[in-house]
Amino acid sequence: MKNITIIKGNIAYTKTLEKFEIHEDSFIVAKDGKIEGIYADIPSKYRSFEIEDYGDRIIIPGFVDLHVHAAQYMQSGIGMTRQLLEWLNDYTYNLERKFQDEEFAEMAYEAFADKLLSVGTLRSCIFASSSTKGTQILFEALRKKGLGAYVGKVNMDTNAPGFIIESTKNSIEGTKQLIEMYKGEGLVKPIITPRFAPTSTKGLLKELGDLAVKYGIPVQSHVNENREEMEWVREIFPDNKSYIDVYDSNSLFGQTPTVMAHAIYLEEEEIEYMREKGVFIAHCPDSNINVRSGIMPLRKYIDRGLKIGLGSDVAGGHKIGMNEAIVRAVQLSKILNIMDKSYRPVEFSEAFYIGTKGGGEFFGNTGSFEDGYSLDALVIEDEKAIAQNYSILDRLEKFIYTGDDRNICARYVEGVKIG
């Protein structure tokens, strides 16, 4: 047997939304990066392998960020009281433009990849910028760290400043080029990424959908984020029956694995359609508030069986650590409960689930410690006084609510220690 990883500690994860599975002082064994089992005592056949013993520390699945703009990372927390369009024009587009400069892209994406690693986001769905070369630099930065990700060159050929859009032809060619380069077996893979419907011509959407289907490449974009945006989409695409239909009619909505950010406002039939097509929602709670889009009804979507993960949505969201997104998801659901007592707030286990296994499913079997899942793990170290006085679940909750990268002392992706 080769490539056996064994780590030991207090193991905590969510197999279901309802509760944590806790294995105190136990061993996780993985073979070629896939989990074989969790054991209270190490089985004899594994006794000859090296064991990384994390003592009283807590081992949890790595965090998954289903929606993050790498090219906006530098401006996270800036311009937060601007309105969306003013924020895009005064800050975001100008920043994204800089990624045409390779030196800038290398500096900024290196910082971004470092940060993802430090905060324990081991898998993510990432928007780069419209620069093909810049996007390639991001692929390389993430690969070097050993992180798992889907990375998309941002496609936009209309309705944005000239310095940030491309011709339809260049946008498609750059995308195809990156697909050819990275469609192999690595942990960092391409994803088709129309910014959102309004910055795409019909022609661009059609060709992107064709690429997705031809290569079997997943898709990410934004949908139904705010009322003004939805109205704009209706104006631009009068022949489509809905925002969703703009994507769907172009093979960009579940024809290949698809994740849509926000989806704050969904009609009943849209909820049902997303469920049928297995399209993931990236719930981005901080961004929901910061840009005043509205509050996505998480409890309702959970109850309706939608596939949901969490997104930091940096830089609409300001915090890149997914523990913060877990907390804010609970907080927003509590606010909906304050407004309407019949709305049941989400539990800590539910928010943790969507921040790990919920989003992790977009990458296959990741985000949990069940047999056959990828061993993507974080080792959490807390203060002695806390560890001595509280249960493992209390300690984990405290880390999620108050901890940061300093509490993460080891990170594993597919059984390999990467930091």
Q: Which residues contact a copy of itself by CB under 8 A?
A: 74-81, 107-108, 111, 286, 289-290, 292-295, 318-320, 327, 330-331, 334-335, 337-339, 345, 347-348, 383, 385-386, 389-390, 394, 397-404
Burial (0-12, 13-18, 19+ Cβ within 10 Å), 327: buried
Q: Where do we find the tokens 């929901």?
A: 288
Instruction: Name the nearest CA neighbour of 148 among 310, 329, 375, 354.
Output: 375
Q: How many residues does the chain have?
A: 419
Least Å from the CB of residue 340 to a copy of itself? 11
Instruction: Name the nearest CA neighbour of 407 among 377, 382, 376, 390.
Output: 382
Least Å from the CB of residue 63 to a copy of itself? 17
CB within 8 Å of 43: residues ≥ 6 apart: 29, 37
Least Å from the CB of residue 160 to a copy of itself? 21
Token digits of residue 135: 């996007």
Closest CB to a copy of itself among residues 40, 339: 339
Closest CB to a copy of itself among residues 85, 181: 85
Closest CB to a copy of itself among residues 193, 333: 333
Least Å from the CB of residue 272 to a copy of itself? 26
Least Å from the CB of residue 396 to a copy of itself? 10
Closest CB to a copy of itself among residues 335, 418: 335
Closest CB to a copy of itself among residues 258, 288: 288
Token digits of residue 54: 């994390």
Per the DSSP assignment, residues forming a β-bridge with 258 are: 219
CB 321 within 8 A of CB 404: yes
The helix or strand, by DSSP H or E, that contains position 190, with its residue range, turns out to be strand 188-190
What are residue 310's phi and psi, to 5 degrees? -105, 150
Least Å from the CB of residue 152 to a copy of itself? 24
Least Å from the CB of residue 72 to a copy of itself? 12
If one counts every other C-beta atom within 10 angstroms of the C-beta of residue 167, the result is 10
Closest CB to a copy of itself among residues 127, 399: 399
- β 280-283/52-61 pair status: unpaired
Alpha helix (H) residue ranges in 282-321: 285-290, 298-303
Closest CB to a copy of itself among residues 48, 81: 81
